[in-house]
Chains A and B, each alone.
Chain A
Amino acid sequence: MRNWKLVFEYELKTLLSKKSTIIPTIIIALIVFGVFNIPRFVGLFSSGDTAKEYKPMQEIVEDVGYVFEDSETGEKVKAALQLPDENIYKSRDELVNSISDGKNELGFVVLAPTKFESIWQDRDIENMAETTFSNLLQGINAGTMLAEKGISLEEVNAIQNIQVEYTTTIMGKDTSINLLIAFLLLFVVYMIVILYGNVTATLIAREKDSRTMELLITSTKSTSLILGKVSASAVSAILQVAVIGLAGYLGFMLNKDLLPEFIIMALSGTLTKQYIITYIYFSIVGYTLYLFLYASLGSMVSKVEDVSSATAPVVFLFIIGYIVSSFSMSAPNSNLVMIVSLIPFTSVMLMPFRTAIATVPTWQYLLSGGLLLVTTILLAFLSIKIYRQGTLNYGNKRGIVHAIKAAFNKE
């Protein structure tokens, strides 16, 4: 216990004093704080100078030339857009010249009531002028046809816009709002596991590579070493997340009144007491489970450069979890989603995610949480054995099956 604490303190101090820990934490915290402050800055820049209102019709009036081969439609377009005469040309060639000269950016040649050609100098990807003009012609033609049948356009609009009032009562969770935050927090777990998992595996592989491991295991027990290293990585990550979380909380509290309503709703809808407890439990225990897994993988290789290939399969576990999480959006309580949320390596992601978007039966929480805890303890024992065995293997990289077998063999 004494040496566990010693290893923990030493490793934690080493991790926290690394520039690679401090700098990203500060940058991410500032970004998170900054994101919550965006409405404040937007407010500053927009005050006194109201943003230019988007008017689709402007796109087909300003710097747009017209040639009307169908004069009847031309009159209707002129009236609808209140086109000045200078925008109207007699022939296609004149229109083309005006565009080439830079007088106009775009030109429309109306060939028939339902047919036109557009001529561009440079086409802007965001410019919707063609669609707008097409809609205008549709409206003109529809008006003409309705008039022929003796129906006014106002009557049609009234029929199309009959308002139906409704109220919503959600007994369980509002998936549509909670998804955003749930995915965001799932991504946080993913990042922490991958980042710190690799840090832990590299730490152990480097000790083996540099032969520090031999000094360590002759100075104290493997149990103290593995538990000390894993708990140091765990605490370091929690501290990092806490700093970033605090930055987010401060940003939120300072700008609460300025934030869009849907963000407030998403946060208050997702961050319930039940979700927070589930998220913290599954994240911390699951994260520890993954750290033991990474520690075992780090013990199996003899060189630092082999770490990435040895740890790559872990990412697949997350991909499975992520795919099932996406699938669970449409069927959060289906058998597949339920089973995957009970499996320790994927429950880390699935349980908090399901909690956010659906009502999960209590027995599933207990079973999944229990399985996760038991697996973590078993993997801790296994990783200690693999670590100890790893010191005897200064040679090639070993496979997981061989490493597990060797861990239980008499040396």
Chain B
Amino acid sequence: MLLEVKDIRKSYGTTEILHGISFSVQSGRAMGFLGRNGAGKSTTIRCMMDVFRPNSGEFLLDGKQFKTEDYRIGYLPEERGMYSKNKVLEQLVYFARLRGGSKEESTKSAKEWISFFELDEYANKPLETLSKGNQQKIQIAQAFVNDPDILILDEPFSGLDPVNAQIFKDVISEYVSRGKLLIFSSHQMSYVEEVCDDICLIHQGNILLTGSLDDIKRDMGEGKLLLETENMDSQAITEMLCAAFPDMECELYDDALILDTKGKYNQSQLLKFILDKSLNIVRFGMYQPSLNDIFISLAGGDTK
């Protein structure tokens, strides 16, 4: 399946929130939809789920107009909400059946997911009696019941402790490996980096970047080298390198330097120079930016 988002525009009153965004999601490849707070992630997802209607543009699935009612979709909204006073199992079955599942199938699936999150003892208790973390697991379970073909998750990792986040990552990977279509938004880069094959970066209602995460990392690291030496005096080394290699830019990165050769110098030339200067190398090689680096460099500011 290929889900295409084509030139979506959405305004609230006179303010345009989404300025004609386009990207695509391929089944079998987890897509991370990234952006800062207020970038337009949830609005895009709500338009996709037909909660909001876009002013223009279209959503296509395999070339045909995407209608949520035609597919079995698991959805986890950004603002979680289920019936707090109703029993856990009862409402999981209810939501699953509303999305087209049979009673037997929905009950079986709901029980499996409750067991998966080790919450069997709460199955027949009201949701409000569970801790916040466990309520979050039930919210996730409601998106997964009845094995949906498409899974749209808005900030799925928020509220999960590291152990449960790891369990959830495994679930997502297993789900995608079965050729299902997954899109999830997040601003927790480490999780996205571990789980996603593709990313799409939205900033102030515009798509800044979209494509394979590996390709993006490679492209953004092209012509750049990473150097770290023992007892490094970054200032002195920068001056030394810039004098020897005009046009090269040096940038401090943690305890190392990123050397942007602009394609004018190769790795051997630089290595020879460093060895000639008798510097003790700790790290030297091609630089590949982390997703966090990419995000900061493109969207700017702090990330969570």
Give me the interface of A with B, judged by CB distance under 8 Å: 3, 6-7, 10, 14, 207, 210-221, 391-392, 410-411
Contact yes or no, B86 A215, CB < 8 A? no
Are A214 and B86 CB-contacts (below 8 A) given A3-B98, A219-B99, A220-B98? Answer: no
Instruction: Considering the complex, give the chain B residue whose CB is closest to the CB of A219.
Output: B98
Let me know if B79 is at the binding interface, CB within 8 A. yes
Contact yes or no, A212 B81, CB < 8 A? yes
Residue from B51, B97, B99 within 8 A of A214 (CB atoms): B51
Contact yes or no, B50 A6, CB < 8 A? no
| Chain A nearest Cβ from B159, distance in angstroms | 14
For this complex, 22 residue pairs linking A to B, each with C-beta atoms less than 8 Å apart, are A3-B98, A6-B98, A7-B98, A10-B94, A14-B83, A14-B86, A210-B82, A211-B77, A211-B81, A214-B79, A215-B75, A215-B82, A215-B142, A216-B98, A218-B50, A218-B68, A218-B75, A218-B77, A219-B95, A219-B99, A220-B98, A410-B53
User: Chain B 126-155 against A: per-residue CB contact (8 Å), 1 yes, 0 no?
Assistant: 000000000000000010000000000000
Are A411 and B73 CB-contacts (below 8 A) given A6-B97, A219-B95, A219-B98? Answer: no
Contact yes or no, B94 A212, CB < 8 A? no
Contact yes or no, A215 B94, CB < 8 A? no
CA distance A210 to B81 in the complex (A): 5
Let me know if B84 is at the binding interface, CB within 8 A. yes
Report A-chain residues with C-beta under 8 Å of the C-beta of B53: 410-411
Instruction: Considering the complex, give the chain A residue whose CB is closest to the CB of B79.
Output: A211
CA distance A334 to B69 in the complex (A): 54
CA distance A218 to B74 in the complex (A): 9
Report B-chain residues with C-beta under 8 Å of the C-beta of A221: 69
Let me know if B241 is at the binding interface, CB within 8 A. no
Residue from A6, A213, A217, A411 within 8 A of B94 (CB atoms): A6
Give 16 A-B pairs besides A6-B98, A219-B95 with Cβ atoms closer than 8 angstroms: A6-B94, A7-B98, A14-B83, A211-B77, A211-B81, A212-B81, A214-B46, A214-B77, A214-B81, A215-B77, A218-B50, A218-B51, A219-B75, A219-B98, A220-B98, A411-B52
Interface centre among A10, A215, A410 (most CB of B within 10 A): A215
Are A210 and B84 CB-contacts (below 8 A) given A215-B77, A218-B50, A392-B51? Answer: yes
Instruction: Considering the complex, give the chain B residue whose CB is closest to the CB of A9.
Output: B94
Report B-chain residues with C-beta under 8 Å of the C-beta of A217: 51
Instruction: Considering the complex, give the chain A residue whose CB is closest to the CB of B91.
Output: A10
Let me know if B80 is at the binding interface, CB within 8 A. yes
Report B-chain residues with C-beta under 8 Å of the C-beta of A3: 98
Are A212 and B83 CB-contacts (below 8 A) given A3-B98, A218-B73, A218-B75? Answer: yes
CA distance A219 to B50 in the complex (A): 10
Chain B: how many interface residues by the 8 Å CB criterion?
24
CA distance A10 to B92 in the complex (A): 12
CA distance A214 to B142 in the complex (A): 13
CA distance A392 to B11 in the complex (A): 12
Let me know if B119 is at the binding interface, CB within 8 A. no
CA distance A211 to B154 in the complex (A): 14
Instruction: Considering the complex, give the chain B residue whose CB is closest to the CB of A13.
Output: B90
| Chain A nearest Cβ from B156, distance in angstroms | 14
User: Chain B 77-118 against A: per-residue CB contact (8 Å), 1 yes, 0 no?
Assistant: 101111110100000001101110000000000000000000
Report A-chain residues with C-beta under 8 Å of the C-beta of B51: 214, 217-218, 391-392
Are A218 and B81 CB-contacts (below 8 A) given A3-B98, A6-B97, A10-B94? Answer: no
Report B-chain residues with C-beta under 8 Å of the C-beta of A10: 94
CA distance A214 to B49 in the complex (A): 10
Instruction: Considering the complex, give the chain B residue whose CB is closest to the CB of A394.
Output: B79
Interface residues of B in 52-75 (CB under 8 A from A): 52-53, 68-69, 73, 75
CA distance A391 to B79 in the complex (A): 13
CA distance A215 to B69 in the complex (A): 13
Instruction: Considering the complex, give the chain A residue whose CB is closest to the CB of B12.
Output: A392
Residue from A7, A14, A212, A410 within 8 A of B82 (CB atoms): A212
CA distance A410 to B95 in the complex (A): 28
Report A-chain residues with C-beta under 8 Å of the C-beta of B83: 14, 210, 212
Report B-chain residues with C-beta under 8 Å of the C-beta of A218: 49-51, 68, 73, 75, 77
CA distance A218 to B53 in the complex (A): 13
Top 5 A-B pairs ranked by shortest CB distance?
Answer: A211-B81, A219-B98, A212-B81, A211-B79, A411-B53
Residue from B52, B80, B94, B99 within 8 A of A211 (CB atoms): B80
Report A-chain residues with C-beta under 8 Å of the C-beta of B77: 211, 214-215, 218
Report B-chain residues with C-beta under 8 Å of the C-beta of A410: 53
CA distance A410 to B54 in the complex (A): 10
Report B-chain residues with C-beta under 8 Å of the C-beta of A392: 51-52
CA distance A218 to B82 in the complex (A): 13
Instruction: Considering the complex, give the chain B residue whose CB is closest to the CB of A221.
Output: B69
Interface centre among A6, A213, A214, A216 (most CB of B within 10 A): A214
| Chain B nearest Cβ from A169, distance in angstroms | 60
Instruction: Considering the complex, give the chain A residue whose CB is closest to the CB of B69.
Output: A221
Instruction: Considering the complex, give the chain B residue whose CB is closest to the CB of A210.
Output: B81
CA distance A10 to B89 in the complex (A): 13
